[in-house]
Homo-oligomer: A and B are copies of this chain.
Amino acid sequence: MQATADTQQRILDSARELFFARSYADVGVADICEHAGVKKGSFYHFYPSKQALTLAVLDAHFVDIKEKLIDQAFAEDLPPLARMARFAEMAYQFQKQVSLETGHVLGCPFGNLSTELSTQDELIRERIQQSFARLQTLLSGVLKTAQAGGEVAPEVDASATAQAMLAYFEGVLLMAKNQNNPELIRHLLPAMVQIRINQS
């Protein structure tokens, strides 16, 4: 049983690493199997398709981002807007570390797969949309706490503002990946706390 669970985990980890470093289309099942050190039959025992594996990859990314970034950045030891600033700094540190390890700023795994596949794979598009919606809810929670404490004005639409902040986050990561420069994140991302969408 242990060997089986390990095999499945190796396939999942390999797909995450390769999709993130390259792209969905550029990484085939054969590449994933080779990287994971498993045979194709083993792959299809665990995942009926590359699409099914990709949905599992997206879920694994969400768990990681939630545990390693969001939960730590949004811990309640700081006032709400300072948590956002910590989120920006932690996102920078993560991208810088990845850049040091791989030679490339890799951006956001959700944003990357979304721009590549949104017109081509409806299941993957929807799963990413759900992941973004969950991140938006977490950001929106911080904004509502900021409103309760008077840091953010009551007329602000917390949900739409969270969506706008998440869009800015995605855009900054896209530009940093394009320039292959993690310092751009440190320079631009803190401005995410400036954005406000008022209730209409």
Which A positions have Cβ atoms within 8 angstroms of B? 21-26, 102, 104-107, 111-112, 114-120, 125, 128-129, 132, 160, 163-164, 166-172, 174-175, 177-180, 184, 187-188, 191, 194-197
Nearest CB of B to A71, in Å: 23
Cα A112 to Cα B168 with chains together (Å): 16
Select one of B115, B169, B170, B194 contacting A116, CB under 8 A.
B115
Are B21 and A119 touching (Cβ within 8 A)? yes
Select one of B26, B187, B196 contacting A120, CB under 8 A.
B26
Residues in B with CB closer than 8 Å to A197 are 187-188, 191
- With both beta carbons as reference points, the residue of chain B lying nearest to A106 in the complex is identified as B119
Residues in B with CB closer than 8 Å to A178 are 114, 118, 125, 128-129, 132
Nearest CB of B to A100, in Å: 15
